């Protein structure tokens, strides 16, 4: 829980600060007096007043922030400060100030992606493991060991690339082409896959698996690396270094077989044949039991020796300063396109609202990405920054996009939208945002 909280606080803290700094920076350049720059909502836990009179605060609830500017609509303004109010600035200056927040998020995403590229990007080649029956991929001649090269015309060099392309295919009806390199060969093959409203209304937890394949993994030999003290395996006499040969006279050669047999026999004796330093021994294992997804499963209390990965599947690329910046812009643009496309599909009903996520899911993803390493956490922050920028540009009153909509109408009409219409629109926008937040939080709790 502590890691979840720290991960999301760091991620959101950085993204919100950059977003609000965008508003702050452009407002100051346009001659607007900034009264308060706040990161977070609620009671301030830190407060500092700068030389220009701006109050900088850090508040208790790190789920947003705001920049409060001098504005006649929010109170009386002394005559000598009238020229520094937000509302007297030209419509184009106000548009620039409001748009600066989302733009700052896009710039931050470019910088983060460029930083990741400078550090060096290490990925796993998209070599196929299992093929799922009755799936889109099962329509092809692809087999375990083949390597995916392109999906729907998009070149892919890692499973991350494959995942992004598949995310863009949700809701698609029609045919696509999957290109792959045959195992143990340089030959390329193309097959056609037919999709019909793919994953419409569903909430897939794994797009790659839903499409029909899984990443290749080396076979895990059932050699024990560690025995949990006091567990079922320890009581049966298992030792680190033992290699399991058979269970109840059924030969096993892969760790997955061991797991399946043990889980299927909770609290039931199993005769296990092991190889210990060249000697064959028989041990009687009585698996402990635990409840998982409404059923009892067995567990033994052992860890397996991790397998050795084929180093040829690990792809690493380093970028120079210019290349990394180009990569950052390309990745940011790709994520903006994917986010906008996903929102559009949700409005069309092609993507279920069950996919909406709130702060709990974001915190869990932030924690998981932090556990995976610096590169993974930085990529998560970059994508979250893009999402924050895109969502704020939606033409919903209460968001930056809503303000931009009104300012755009004002620029076209040469006359501001009436206060009455704006007030009504803000109430509708607030209701919509609260409803979306309620759905997202409900989905978070349901996933728990």
What amino acid positions are annotated as catalytic residues? 20
Cβ-contact 97, 32 below 8 angstroms:
yes
| Angstrom distance (rounded) from CA 73 to CA 423 | 12
| Angstrom distance (rounded) from CA 158 to CA 244 | 34
Q: Which of 390, 400, 385 is nearest to 110 (CA)?
A: 385
The C-alpha torsion from 286 through 290 and 296 to 299, rounded to 10°, is -40
| Angstrom distance (rounded) from CA 82 to CA 32 | 10
Q: Is 409 exposed, middle or buried (0-12, 13-18, 19+ CB in 10 A)?
A: middle
CA terminus-to-terminus distance, the chain:
13
Kindly report the number of other CB atoms within 10 A of residue 8's CB atom: 22
| Angstrom distance (rounded) from CA 283 to CA 265 | 16
The C-alpha torsion from 17 through 20 and 24 to 30, rounded to 10°, is 140
Q: Positive or negative, the Cα torsion across 224, 228, 232, 234?
A: positive
Tokens, residue 384: 């979250």
Query: How, if at all, do strands 270-276 and 279-285 pair?
Result: antiparallel
Kindly report the number of other CB atoms within 10 A of residue 289's CB atom: 16
| Angstrom distance (rounded) from CA 191 to CA 140 | 6
Q: Positive or negative, the Cα torsion across 208, 203, 15, 331?
A: positive
* N residues, the chain: 448
Q: Which of 315, 317, 328, 343 is nearest to 379 (CA)?
A: 328
Tokens, residue 91: 């419509």
Q: Is 180 exposed, middle or buried (0-12, 13-18, 19+ CB in 10 A)?
A: buried
């Amino acid at each position: 829980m502590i890691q979840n909280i720290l991960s999301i606080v760091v991620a959101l803290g950085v993204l919100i600060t950059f977003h609000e700094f965008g508003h702050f920076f452009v407002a100051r350049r346009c001659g607007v007096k900034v009264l308060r720059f706040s990161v977070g909502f609620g009671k301030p836990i830190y407060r500092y007043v700068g030389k220009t009179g701006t109050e900088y605060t850090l508040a208790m609830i790190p789920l947003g922030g705001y920049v409060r500017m001098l504005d006649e609509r929010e109170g009386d303004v002394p005559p000598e400060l009238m020229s520094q109010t937000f509302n007297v600035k030209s419509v184009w200056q106000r548009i620039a100030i409001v748009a600066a927040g989302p733009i700052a998020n896009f710039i931050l995403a470019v910088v983060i992606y460029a930083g990741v590229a400078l550090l060096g990007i290490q990925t796993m080649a998209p070599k196929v493991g299992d093929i799922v029956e009755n799936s889109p991929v099962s329509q092809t001649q692809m087999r375990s060991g083949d390597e995916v090269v392109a999906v729907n015309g998009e070149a892919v060099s890692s499973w991350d690339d494959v995942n992004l392309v598949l995310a863009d295919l949700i809701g698609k009806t029609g045919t696509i082409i999957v290109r792959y390199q045959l195992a143990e060969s340089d030959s390329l093959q193309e097959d056609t896959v037919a999709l019909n409203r793919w994953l419409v209304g569903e909430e897939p937890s794994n797009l790659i698996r839903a499409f029909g394949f899984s990443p290749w993994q080396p076979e895990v030999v059932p050699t024990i690396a560690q025995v949990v003290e006091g567990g079922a395996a320890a009581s049966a006499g298992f030792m680190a270094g033992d290699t399991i040969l058979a269970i109840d006279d059924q030969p096993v050669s892969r760790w997955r077989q061991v797991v399946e047999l043990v889980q299927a026999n909770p609290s039931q004796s199993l005769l296990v044949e092991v190889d210990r330093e060249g000697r064959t021994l028989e041990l009687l294992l009585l698996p402990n039991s635990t409840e998982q997804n409404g059923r009892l499963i067995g567990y033994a209390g052992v860890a397996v020796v991790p397998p050795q990965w084929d180093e040829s599947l690990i792809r690493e690329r380093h970028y120079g300063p210019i290349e990394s910046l180009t990569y950052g812009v390309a990745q940011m643009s790709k994520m903006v396109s994917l986010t906008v496309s996903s929102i559009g599909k949700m409005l069309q009903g092609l993507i279920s609202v069950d996919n909406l996520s709130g702060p709990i899911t974001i915190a869990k993803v932030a924690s998981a990405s932090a556990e995976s390493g610096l590169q993974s956490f930085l990529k998560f922050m970059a994508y979250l920054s893009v999402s924050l920028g895109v969502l704020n540009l939606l033409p919903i009153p209460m968001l930056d996009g809503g303000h931009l909509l009104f300012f755009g109408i004002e620029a076209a009409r040469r006359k501001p939208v009436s206060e009455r219409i704006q007030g009504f629109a803000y109430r509708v926008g607030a209701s919509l945002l609260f409803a979306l937040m309620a759905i997202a939080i409900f989905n978070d709790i349901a996933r728990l």
